[in-house]
Structure 1
Amino acid sequence: MQYDVIDGRISPNGSLDVLSRLEVGKLLNASQGELYPLFRNSSLAVLNYGGYLDDGRELLERYKDFDIRVIQEERGIKLDLRNAPASAFVDGKMIRGITEHLFAVLRDIVYVDDTINNNPRFDLATSDGITNAVFHILRNARIMRPGTPPRLVVCWGGHSISPAEYDYSKEVGYQLGLRGLDICTGCGPGAMKGPMKGATIGHAKQRIYTGQYLGITEPGIIASESPNPIVNDLVIMPDIEKRLEAFVRVGHAVIVFPGGVGTAEEILYILSILLDPENSRIPLPLIFTGPASAAGYFEQIDHFITDTLGPAARQMYRIIIDDPETVARKTLEGVEKVRQFRLKTDDAYYFNWMLNIDLSLQLPFVPSHDNMRSLNLHKNQPPHLLASNLRRAFSGIVAGNVKDAGIRAIEEKGLFELCGDARIMQPLDTLLTAFVEQQRMRLPTSTYIPCYRLVADAGA
């Protein structure tokens, strides 16, 4: 099948407007050296606006002839594109939001490789070193607003959701926008786009012209969750772990909409943090919400959390069904508690330094067959560490579902195996089976073939 393509040459607007010759040289190297495949593939994902896929490899195969290069000129750089998706252009000109996203890709990939990796200032084997790296990547992207009181709400949820769930996420975003709250999501479609779209209307009615619509992604997931053009601040973190840390460091509240395994991974990530005894006094509001049709979904999530992590985990969040105004009011109340706590403890409004994040949540997890099989999915550990290991299990399933490397690993070596207590495997099987039945594993147009096998310990 043929897909419409177009050639073009574009100039930056934003952080790459003014560059030194040394910086231009580094960018040229990025478009010609070992960083090129990462730069090319992430750029293609950004350009694939509206053509959302669940298979990152499929996007690369659709546009095999796509090419992007950094061109040096006297006044800086331009990007030269060949055989780019035509949907990124209107009347031959690239949509401005997509132009900004393309240069954000270049900025972040070069910065991480040049400044973060192999730099003794950032010890990426330690918790403090990783947090320091996350902070510097975000600061370099200029997404922090030091003079602004807390108002950034992180919204998580599926990229492939029903029309009713999408409309509901827009209504919640609208109610948040009316109350002056900004939105941060994973930047893709579905529950990542809906809250932003709703918030733009709420902000417009309140004459708020400085609203922030922050999107945080990473190279492994960007192909299946192409950034939507509403995003006015885009950051590409190096991996999923740093992406998740960025969410909780910059956000002041978290709202979870219906989703699939990726959303379950995010839920387990934040529960691992909230269950950590070191964070017991730090406020971070967490609300699960959806339309009436999603009530059963959150019942399943609630049962899974209680069955695996215990009743204490149930106290870390609130479920609100079919009531956007209450969601927005409770979120605003929670954000105010965060503001008062940060003021009292002298913690920054724009970056949650005090929050303790266990190293097991920060070190990149490579979902190989051996690593998936060796995960500790047993109850002989504190709940926050069990949540961390369950998070890795879901991360591996996400990789096997949509990431190019994960899909290839499954094709070459067969299904991932997850082994553990029957008391964990049974609730996990029930939840994953429900996701499959509700078509929450893949886009509704796709037939889902499991990438995993669950194995309960003998005699457990």
Structure 2
Amino acid sequence: MAPEKTPGGPARSGAGKRGNTSSIKHRGPIQLRRERKAEVANADRRLLDQRGPSDWVHTDPWRVLRIQSEFIEGFGALAEVPRAVTVFGSARTADGSTEYAHARELGAALARAGFAVITGGGPGIMEGANRGASENAGYSIGLGIELPFEQGLNEWVDLGINFRYFFARKTMFVKYSQAFICLPGGFGTLDELFEALTLVQTGKITRFPIVLFGSRFWGGLIEWIRTTLVEEGKISAADVDLLHVTDSVEEAVRVVVESQEADEAAALREAAAREEVDEW
């Protein structure tokens, strides 16, 4: 039987099935298929912690080269990734839970809509989203981070990269995604959520939908934003509209699809306007 072709990804046979771990390929920090145990490291702490001997004065300039290499590896590996959506959520969510099932449904629905699925590559919500995409012939991507307590990239990742630095990893999430969907999560999910909100609010990125999936979980945060941040003038009332809250997989995907269609229509209008100027 001829292998199936995934959207924007490599050919694969038996879509939706777990692959053979012997098929793992590595290129530096990049993983192609299957799981690799990340080296226990905390490069961010070594970079940011200035306590102790003054040898950091001599090592930090060299560390810049390692940081540069992470950006180069990430840009190179993800340059040809098709349109994609990043799904965030807790690594502590158990397989078999309702939230895991929702992540899996989201991954599947995004794949069917023609989007690659990007996650942090770990267990829990991330695994569920990667799994849903993989089971539906989608392109499943994991951007991991080397931490002492992480378990490495989950087995449903087709293209995986392990980062040492959070800031390099977060750049990749934003640069190669057309939208973020945030399921219930902890500090990491909140960090990624508010970074995206700040970038949209300040115009660093435009037409970038941010969907909060799970009204019960996110309701308290939305209420606090409305009653505290808006009422005290810390943000404008219009800023609340940057967030879309839903309990529906179909609605979450619809928000993403409509935003993508608006982007494409705007690009066509801009191209037509340039042609008119050139002809004039």
Task: Note whether the superposition's TM-score is higher than 0.5.
Answer: yes
Q: Which residue of 1 aligns with 2:8?
A: none
Q: Which residue of 1 aligns with 2:216?
A: 296
AA in 2 matched with 1:139:
F
Aligned pair partner of 1:200 in 131, 134, 138: 134
Match runs of 1:207-356 below 5 Å: 211-220=138-147, 223-224=149-150, 226-276=152-202, 278-279=203-204, 282-290=206-214, 295-306=215-226, 307-308=228-229, 309-310=234-235, 311-321=237-247, 323-340=248-265
Q: Which residue of 2 aligns with 1:371?
A: none
1:189 and 2:113 are equivalent in the alignment: no
Tell me how far apart the structure 2 counterparts of residues 230 and 11 of structure 1 sit (CA, whole Å): 14
Aligned pair partner of 1:153 in 62, 85, 88: 85
Q: Judging changes above 3 Å, is the alpha-carbon distance between structure 1 residues 287 and 344 closer, same or farther for their aligned structure 2 residues?
A: same
SS at match of 2:245: strand
Tell me how far apart the structure 2 counterparts of residues 330 and 267 of structure 1 sit (CA, whole Å): 17
Tell me how far apart the structure 2 counterparts of residues 14 and 152 of structure 1 sit (CA, whole Å): 23
Which segments of 5 or more consecutive residues in structure 1 lack a partner in the other structure?
Answer: 1-9, 17-26, 28-38, 40-45, 47-95, 110-116, 125-129, 204-210, 347-460
Tell me how far apart the structure 2 counterparts of residues 283 and 135 of structure 1 sit (CA, whole Å): 24
SS at match of 2:78: coil
Which aligned segments of 4 or more residues in structure 1 are displaced greater than 4 angstroms? 10-13, 117-120, 132-135, 339-346
Tell me how far apart the structure 2 counterparts of residues 230 and 342 of structure 1 sit (CA, whole Å): 34
Q: Which residue of 2 aligns with 1:143?
A: 78
SS at match of 1:193: helix
Q: Which residue of 2 aligns with 1:207?
A: none
1:134–1:245 CA contact under 8 A, matched in 2: no
Tell me how far apart the structure 1 counterparts of residues 175 and 250 of structure 2 sit (CA, whole Å): 26
Residue 175 of structure 1: how far off its partner (Å):
1.5
Q: Judging changes above 3 Å, is the alpha-carbon distance between structure 1 residues 318 and 11 closer, same or farther for their aligned structure 2 residues?
A: closer
Measured on the aligned residues, the alpha-carbon RMSD in Å equals: 3.5
Residue 268 of structure 1: how far off its partner (Å):
1.2
Tell me how far apart the structure 1 counterparts of residues 24 and 99 of structure 2 sit (CA, whole Å): 35
Tell me how far apart the structure 2 counterparts of residues 224 and 123 of structure 1 sit (CA, whole Å): 25
Q: Figure out how many residues of one structure are paired with residues of the other and give that number.
A: 223
AA in 2 matched with 1:243:
R
Residue 345 of structure 1: how far off its partner (Å):
7.1
SS at match of 2:79: coil
Tell me how far apart the structure 2 counterparts of residues 123 and 338 of structure 1 sit (CA, whole Å): 36
Give CA-to-partner distance per residue, 1:249-283, whole Å, 9 cap, x none: 1111110111122211111111111111x337x21
Residue 118 of structure 1: how far off its partner (Å):
4.3
Residue 134 of structure 1: how far off its partner (Å):
5.8
1:252–1:338 CA contact under 8 A, matched in 2: no
Q: Which residue of 2 aligns with 1:437?
A: none
Q: Which residue of 2 aligns with 1:413?
A: none
Tell me how far apart the structure 1 counterparts of residues 129 and 167 of structure 2 sit (CA, whole Å): 23
Residue 194 of structure 1: how far off its partner (Å):
1.1
Tell me how far apart the structure 2 counterparts of residues 153 and 270 of structure 1 sit (CA, whole Å): 13
SS at match of 1:154: strand
Q: Judging changes above 3 Å, is the alpha-carbon distance between structure 1 residues 187 and 15 closer, same or farther for their aligned structure 2 residues?
A: closer
Match runs of 1:417-436 below 5 Å: none
Residue 15 of structure 1: how far off its partner (Å):
5.2
TM-score of the two chains, using structure 1 as the length reference: 0.43
Q: Judging changes above 3 Å, is the alpha-carbon distance between structure 1 residues 13 and 194 closer, same or farther for their aligned structure 2 residues?
A: closer
- Which of structures 1 and 2 has the larger relative contact order (alpha carbons within 8 angstroms, sep 6+)? 2
AA in 1 matched with 2:140:
Y
Q: Which residue of 2 aligns with 1:5?
A: none
Residue 226 of structure 1: how far off its partner (Å):
3.0
Give CA-to-partner distance per residue, 1:285-307, whole Å, 9 cap, x none: 111113xxxx3211112123332
SS at match of 1:279: coil
TM-score of the two chains, using structure 2 as the length reference: 0.67
1:137–1:237 CA contact under 8 A, matched in 2: no
Tell me how far apart the structure 2 counterparts of residues 247 and 185 of structure 1 sit (CA, whole Å): 8
Tell me how far apart the structure 1 counterparts of residues 26 and 123 of structure 2 sit (CA, whole Å): 25
Q: Which residue of 1 aligns with 2:99?
A: 165
Q: Judging changes above 3 Å, is the alpha-carbon distance between structure 1 residues 133 and 248 closer, same or farther for their aligned structure 2 residues?
A: farther
